Amino acid sequence: MRIIVLIVAALASIAAVVSSRRSASEAKKHAKFERRLHSVEHAAHQKPGQVSVPKVPKVKRAKL
């Protein structure tokens, strides 16, 4: 009976970790989208001919 409880607890903890990582990833994507949307809205209110939309910087990943 203990082994079943341990397996269920392990599966629940793994599910919680996966869920939290997935939600963190979605939050990061949403924040990036919001920054881009804000910069485009700002550019739309500038004078004609002076529209400058900043590029989203590339993220350099360290090689492991």
Question: What is the per-residue pLDDT for 54?
Answer: 66
How far apart are alpha carbons 13 and 31 in whole angstroms? 27
Question: What is the per-residue pLDDT for 37?
Answer: 83
Question: What is the per-residue pLDDT for 53?
Answer: 64
Question: What is the per-residue pLDDT for 12?
Answer: 95
Question: What is the per-residue pLDDT for 52?
Answer: 63
For 50, phi and psi rounded to 5 degrees?
-120, 20
The residues of the chain scoring below 50 in pLDDT are none
Token readout for 41 is 């809205």
| Neighbour-count burial of 39, counting CB atoms closer than 10 A to its CB (0-12 exposed, 13-18 middle, 19+ buried) | middle
Question: What is the per-residue pLDDT for 38?
Answer: 83
